Structure 1
Amino acid sequence: MQLANYLFFTTQCDAALAFYTACGLGHVTTLVRHGEQGIPVASEAMRGKVMHARFEGPGVLFFASDNHHAEPMRGSAHMLIIDDRTTTDALFAKLADGGKVTTPLAVQPWGTYYGKLTDRFGVQWMLNCES
């Protein structure tokens, strides 16, 4: 068994996946669009938008799509466990670009180097470095 998150965007899935690729998290390994391969569209506005995507990188797996009735992101966060501060700092800065830092990176009372942010697409990320 493996747990993987599924992110729902309204119409920004392509941009979000390109952003996560540019941040160095991985890349899209599967991509199907609304209206392709005989797949019906809920509305013409959704034609060509992402119906299903699989995103993978070292230690990263999630799925994503555009969905005309997607609710705003809330109540969940991706937690990335990283083994060095340099990588943690660099990735945190990339993900925070255009987003909002809610907990700046710092050594926390529980002893780890940790920070939390909401990226420009409304996805929450928590980065944790134990070294």
Structure 2
Amino acid sequence: MIINPYLNFNGNTEEVFNFYKAIFGGDFPFLMRFNQAPPESNDQEGCMDQGIPEDEANGIMHIALPIGKSMLMGTDVPSTMPQVTAGTNISLCVSVDSRADADRIFAALGEGGTVQMPMADMFWGDYYGMLTDKFQIQWMISYNEAQDGKAAQ
């Protein structure tokens, strides 16, 4: 099991991640913009609505930067969603080793919390869900059989 920080920004994720890349080095093994998401992603239950404003379509849907054995990940929050502030701009992304672990951990963290996206198979290949626990900590639970428990990208 691996825990990676996931950062949320109000439109400047690319600037932020280029800043971190200049400091820590490395390359982005994964970078997807909103306008690169497959059209069928709109049809998946729990998947973010792709109704992104045209002037934000080039925004970062997901980016990853390896730092040591961890993966720093991030996204731009579209203006159609609640904008982030200090405290809502970071989530903990747990990459687990099995679907059973994903379901168990998601259910336990969700007790007394709020589910944003129930566990479901996503277009990028992960079994994934999002929630805020009863202590207001944001969590992303992810399982990818192809990665077999390696750091999510």
* TM-score of the two chains, using structure 2 as the length reference: 0.44
Structure 2 counterpart of 1:33, one-letter code: R
Identity fraction in percent: 18
Aligned-residue CA RMSD (Å) = 2.4
- For 1:50-73, what per-residue CA distance to the aligned partner results, in whole angstroms no more than 9, with x for missing partners? 001111132331210101233113
* Correspondence list, 1:1-131, <5 A: 1-24=1-24, 26-39=26-39, 40-68=50-78, 69-74=82-87
Q: Is the 8 A contact 1:33 1:47 kept in 2?
A: yes
* d(CA) in 2 for partners of 1:7, 1:14: 12
Structure 1 counterpart of 2:67, one-letter code: G
Q: Is the 8 A contact 1:54 1:62 kept in 2?
A: yes
Query: Which gives a bigger RCO, structure 1 or 2 (Cα 8 Å, sep 6+)?
Result: 2
Detail structure 1 runs of 4+ shifted over 6 Å in the superposition: none
Once the two structures are overlaid, the 10-residue window that deviates more, 5-14 or 33-42, is 33-42
Q: Name which one, 1 or 2, has greater alpha-carbon Rg.
A: 1
Structure 1 counterpart of 2:27, one-letter code: H
The runs of 5 or more residues in structure 2 that have no matched partner are 40-49, 91-153
- Deviation at 1:76? 8.2
1:124 alignment counterpart: none
Once the two structures are overlaid, the 10-residue window that deviates more, 43-52 or 21-30, is 21-30
Structure 2 counterpart of 1:70, one-letter code: Q
Q: Is the 8 A contact 2:7 2:89 kept in 1?
A: no
Q: By percentage of residues, which structure has more strand?
A: 1
- Equivalent pairs counted in the alignment come to 77
The runs of 5 or more residues in structure 1 that have no matched partner are 78-131
1:95 alignment counterpart: none
- Deviation at 1:25? 5.1
Q: Is the 8 A contact 2:28 2:65 kept in 1?
A: yes
* TM-score of the two chains, using structure 1 as the length reference: 0.50
